[in-house]
Homo-oligomer: A and B are copies of this chain.
């Protein structure tokens, strides 16, 4: 009997110890450091002014007649033969006046709603990868299984704040893919969602699925941004049909357009950082203007994903000094126009190695110094976006969690300064057993996800696994122990009929 009580007490103590484990809240983060600069303030103004000159004198080629008509109605000079729209500074000014400085980005789980605003620090996983790779199964074209697995992995980490298109499910025909992608996000996750802007038909069905899946009426859907899309201009100075439709349709639906010119200095943009930023800024302002012409006040994000190419091969580079300078400069331009903005990390590496980690860390730090509202491709992006790497994802999450920890300053109350402990311990002694340590050790430090702190001997005896193969075991375990979020089944049920009818009619063709 006594033994049973003791056992129970030990069990309770163990339970209490388990409860005392660290439960950091990574769901809502603010940047810990003020935004930094690489450009003098007068250069920011010069880049902004030259971007306005690019828009008004050179113009953008916009392939969608409806978009040109919107600009024409607003007073832009439209040449329908060349599809060129010359956009005066007044149109840009008006757009920057009506675009909201902040807005809510909603999730099916309200605790995952986000304020998309200056100072917020949001991360999204590597996105838009046609391939997937892991050490257990090798590199392959992305499939629905990969998409679903990478969604589950995103869902397992609070530091990934919004869902993204990670690995592309290429085994699903393109006219049906949006059904699976929207369904999977609502069934496997509970964060703000992504929808591709691949033409009006798919966008409209995607928004309808969000309303259905989350049980929103039209007013509720329109009142907040429940999903986002990323609009990459076709640099230089061009916006194609699906992108222009996306800008219009997301804006009209009150959903978030993240405008992101992908300006690679020396290739689709001028070879200088300042010149590439001029082009990025012009294209971003033009696209932002279109959202505001479609619906004044629509949620829109400034964005920049600028880097350089290798001038020998033309291959894009990431995590380079030029990438970093463009990110930090982009942050300055975003603050200049007063809008929240997205940046990007990522890697050109073909393997989950030191290059991959180094490039991503540099990109993440540039985004941090630039106070990017949202950093996409923050985890798992390999080969310049051609592959989603499972092991790299796990290792990158370690970096994101480390950044998240920096958002909480160290305790500086009198007890934390530790006078009693300092007075307790003899010179040359140690603090392991002091009350100050015992009271805090279970929650004092960040617990590494994949970093192995064993000494060389223990590590070697345990198989000498590198951080890549350790990550394999981690993602395998995360998938094996994954449980769908509350409401998952209900959301899937509400979508089932719509999807089967959609499939029966042959889906919705993406725009060309």
A residues sitting closer than 8 Å to B (CB atoms) are: 32-34, 36, 38-40, 43, 46-47, 50, 53-54, 57-58, 60-61, 84, 139, 234, 236-238, 265-276, 278-279, 308, 310-311, 313-317, 319-322, 324-325, 329, 348-359, 361-362, 365, 369, 383, 386-387, 391-392, 395, 398-399, 402, 405-406, 409-412, 416-419, 421-423, 425, 427-432, 434, 436-437, 440-442, 444-446, 448, 450-456, 459-460, 464, 466-468, 471
In the assembled complex, the Cα of A193 lies from the Cα of B33 at a distance in Å of: 35
Best-surrounded residue of A53, A275, A354 (most CB of chain B within 10 A): A354
- A380–chain B nearest beta-carbon distance, Å: 12
| CB neighbours of A425 from chain B (8 A) | 236
| CB neighbours of A395 from chain B (8 A) | 354-355, 358
| CB neighbours of A357 from chain B (8 A) | 353-355, 357-358, 361
Set B50, B410, B421, B468: member contacting A419, Cβ < 8 A: B50
Q: Can you list 18 contacts pairing A with B, beta carbon distance less than 8 Å?
A: A38-B406, A38-B409, A47-B412, A58-B423, A236-B422, A266-B444, A270-B418, A270-B437, A272-B411, A273-B411, A273-B416, A314-B432, A320-B448, A321-B405, A350-B455, A353-B468, A355-B451, A361-B361
In the assembled complex, the Cα of A410 lies from the Cα of B467 at a distance in Å of: 35
Smallest CB gap from A432: residue in B: B267
Set B60, B356, B365: member contacting A427, Cβ < 8 A: B60
Set B36, B430, B459: member contacting A33, Cβ < 8 A: B36
Contact between B274 and A431, CB atoms less than 8 A apart: no
Excluding A236-B425, A271-B440, A321-B406, 13 further A-B contacts by CB distance (< 8 Å) are A39-B412, A265-B445, A271-B444, A272-B418, A275-B422, A275-B436, A311-B442, A317-B451, A320-B445, A324-B406, A350-B464, A354-B468, A355-B451
Contact between B444 and A350, CB atoms less than 8 A apart: no
| CB neighbours of A434 from chain B (8 A) | 270
In the assembled complex, the Cα of A406 lies from the Cα of B326 at a distance in Å of: 11
| CB neighbours of A392 from chain B (8 A) | 354
Report the copy number of this chain in the oligomer.
2
Contact between B322 and A272, CB atoms less than 8 A apart: no
Contact between A431 and B271, CB atoms less than 8 A apart: yes
The answer to whether A453 and B418 touch (CB under 8 A), given A43-B412, A266-B437, A268-B431, is no
Contact between A417 and B274, CB atoms less than 8 A apart: yes
Set B53, B353, B456: member contacting A467, Cβ < 8 A: B353
| CB neighbours of A60 from chain B (8 A) | 427
| CB neighbours of A387 from chain B (8 A) | 456
| CB neighbours of A361 from chain B (8 A) | 357-358, 361-362, 365, 399
In the assembled complex, the Cα of A355 lies from the Cα of B422 at a distance in Å of: 33
Contact between A352 and B354, CB atoms less than 8 A apart: yes
Contact between A266 and B431, CB atoms less than 8 A apart: yes
The answer to whether A270 and B355 touch (CB under 8 A), given A362-B399, A416-B275, A428-B61, is no
Contact between B270 and A436, CB atoms less than 8 A apart: yes
